Chain A
Amino acid sequence: MQIRFLRKMKKKTALAMAALFVSSAFLSGCAGTQASNSNNDKNTIKVGVLHSLSGTMAISEVSVKDAEMMAIDEINAKGGVLGKKIEVVTEDGASDPAVFAEKAKKLLQQDKVATVFGCWTSASRKAVLPVFENNHGLLWYPVQYEGMESSPNIFYTGAAPNQQIVPAVDWLLKNKGKKFFLIGSDYVFPRTANKIIKAELKAKGGTLVGEEYTPMGHTDYSTIINKIKNEKPDVVFNTLNGDSNVAFFKQLKDAGINTKDLITCSVSIAEEEVRGIGAGNMAGQLVSWNYYQTTDTPENKTFVKNYKAKYGQDRVTDDPIEAAYDAVYLWAAAVEKAGSTDVDKVKAAAKGLEFNAPEGKVKIEGENQHLWKTVRIGEVQADGSIKEVWSTPGPVRPDPYLKTYDWAKGLAN
């Protein structure tokens, strides 16, 4: 019956569907031109938001996009920048570096946006970097990363290695032990991070007892956990990303290894990821960031309250979310100071700009366009929150190339 119905339908519907297919292609083309026409509207300032809203990275990047939208809404509610409202052009990078490059070109060439807030992975940042440099655009990148970069067209509001990894290793060596085991996902950030860690261990008297990489999405850690058991390190430094963490921490717990025998320190796991891994599997483990939801500043209390009110009480804030929020405010402040959205003027105005962020005071370092940030080591609690156990006395100067560290000579040319 159904087949017959289908067969009958086929001819007419096929024609209709073909018409639909072609017309939707046409419509989307029209919509595209319409969007670019609103360039003429001088009462708004256009900015781009470029994150993965689909694909494997969407789970992380949507929250970051939400934080940026919240900051933009807040600024608009107070009258916007230079008396104009901020208008957002959202694009989906689809977790694919080539798509990021395409959309960045579109935002800069077609929409002529004043600035772009976006990207998460290093791959996506590296893909759009030449686009921003060639089109003289401005990108605000909100995620901690492996360093060794400082583009004149990018502001980095996440941590450089010396504001996250280097102090964490230093603290662990002093407080937890000398024997390190490195485990990470197989991509650029873990490999570069571990290169830095190995140089630091060598200089500060630590020993390396193992270094393992697994493909993204890998879920069987039994052999690696056996190696860890045999080598008995004091610290496992973890740069695994995404789903792998769920498997790793669960299997580590199942293997009967607890935080008294060895401690793990992770730099890619924040509150958002702890929810996915399950606080029970991670309680007592360490992480290193610049901000936690529990960070005690008046600005953070308002930030967390507003974020939850806007997006739901079950949502959490974490380091990249906060850094993305800061980025919008820093840009707006730089534009106000410059009196213009011109990229060169905004860059000049941004030098040395300070902002009372939820993580405390941050300052833009003019030399490399990174932020001065406070480093915080935290312990995961049974309820999934993260409690700060140590922090630097004040914001640390960003040093993406680790030039001020003697042991890091030769890491960056």
Chain B
Amino acid sequence: MFVKKFIKAPANWTFLIIILSLLAAPLFLSVFRINLLGKFISYAILAIGIDLIWGYTGILSLGHGVFFGLGAYAMGMYLKLEAAHGKLPDFMSWSGLEHLPAIWAPFSNPLSLLFIIIIPALLAAVIGYLTFKNRIRGVYFSILSQALSLIFVVLFIGQQAYTGGTNGLTSFQTIFGLSLAADNTKYILYYASILFLILVYTYCRFIVNHRIGKILIAIRDGENRVRFSGYNPTIYKIFVYISSAAIAGIAGAIFVPQVGIISPAEMGIVPSIEMVIWVAIGGRGTLIGAVIGAILVNGLKSGISESFPEIWSYFLGLTFIVVVIFMPEGLVGLVKKYASHLFTWHNKKEKIIQKAPSIN
């Protein structure tokens, strides 16, 4: 039933095409480009999570960089200890530490990679409980989420001995014994990223296609009505916030070994807002739009900045403005609109009849 439904929807068809082209990409692109594409895939995963909470549930979080960063730091700490070969990581000795701090100790164990999901999820659970229970929503939640990202940036910069400060964590050597500099490792990481993209997309598609997805949309469009109908929106909102945070953590963990660095610059307010922009440009409330938006915007950013290093940011800014003015529903929204135009051409009568009984 689920599989049948899954394949029927045009969004899923598009997703299948994207996955197939990503799988085939190594045949046409250099290792450098594949590595770059791997980074974009990690962004796409992150964007799916943001679409789930923003596009479907109507909660605009401007602090998802924090969850991305926490997942990335968890991965980074594991890789850093692997690179240190039992010694103290380099930045700790400059910062005057003599022993491995207690919060670092568990990360020498591969099981600690579970923290990639657990830490962001726990933080989201606490923040979500406190805010949603007290019915903090809309713009107030957005401001709160920004403050969260600011707090974490200051914290991570200030605790130089524990986090590497502004430099962040870098100079990783190996992952599970494989050299990160080797081409083969890069291909493995790339295909692993695609696998996680499929998993996360399927998970989110599963949620939005089921009853819980309908409730999420109902919360977005009329939270009070949902409450009057006997549902407790708080639980659903906390659940979706945790899901989204865990997905962001996974994205961060995929980002780190491919880019080779995580620093507080990736978890601040500006990158957090950029993440929301990818979803807006792709088209929110579609999941597939998030994937397209993240890959397209970042591809464009890399491409234009290579060709026009001095003035690329103006191009990108102009593109954002154009999209916001002329495509308020994003790229996917635009395609949908024109596709439905063609559709109504043939079935105009049918559509009018269908529309009639609507109360709204």
Contact = CB atoms under 8 A, between A and B. Distances in A.
Interface of A: 6, 10, 13-15, 17-18, 20-21, 24-25, 28-29, 31-32, 35, 53-54, 90-92, 94-98, 101-103, 105-106, 109-110, 121-123, 126-127, 129-131, 134-135, 146, 148, 186-188, 191-192, 195, 213, 215, 411-413
Contact of B93 (A21, A29, A91, A412): A412
A14 B263 contact: no
B131 interface: no
A102 B171 contact: no
A122 B95 CA distance: 15
Contacts of A95: 265
A35 B260 contact: no
Nearest to B179: A134
Given A17-B326, A96-B265, A134 B181 contact: yes
Residue with the greatest number of chain B CB neighbours at <10 A, chosen from A14, A90, A135: A14
* Overall SS of chain B's interface: helix
Sorted nearest first, the 6 A-B pairs with minimum C-beta distance are A28-B303, A134-B181, A31-B307, A187-B166, A109-B32, A413-B93
A92 B303 CA distance: 12
Nearest to B96: A195
B14 interface: no
Given A18-B327, A91-B306, 14 more contacts: A15-B338, A17-B323, A17-B326, A21-B319, A24-B304, A25-B296, A91-B309, A92-B312, A105-B35, A109-B32, A127-B260, A186-B154, A188-B167, A413-B88
Given A102-B302, A123-B168, A130-B171, A35 B265 contact: no
Contacts of A412: 93-94
Contacts of A92: 305, 309-310, 312
B132 to A, nearest CB: 30
Contacts of A53: 309-310
B154 to A, nearest CB: 6
A412 B39 CA distance: 34
Interface string B233-265: 000000000000000000000000001111101
B64 to A, nearest CB: 16
16 contacts: A10-B326, A13-B326, A20-B322, A24-B315, A31-B306, A32-B303, A32-B307, A35-B306, A92-B309, A92-B310, A97-B168, A101-B170, A103-B305, A148-B94, A187-B157, A187-B166
Given A129-B171, A186-B158, A105 B32 contact: yes
B310 A90 contact: yes
Residues of B in contact with A, size category? 35 or more
B265 to A, nearest CB: 5
Nearest to A9: B326
B309 A25 contact: no
B30 A109 contact: yes
A97 B323 contact: no
B334 A18 contact: yes
B150 to A, nearest CB: 9
A14 B299 CA distance: 21
B331 interface: yes
B112 interface: no
Contact of B263 (A24, A97, A130, A131): A97
A17 B320 CA distance: 11
Contacts of A103: 305
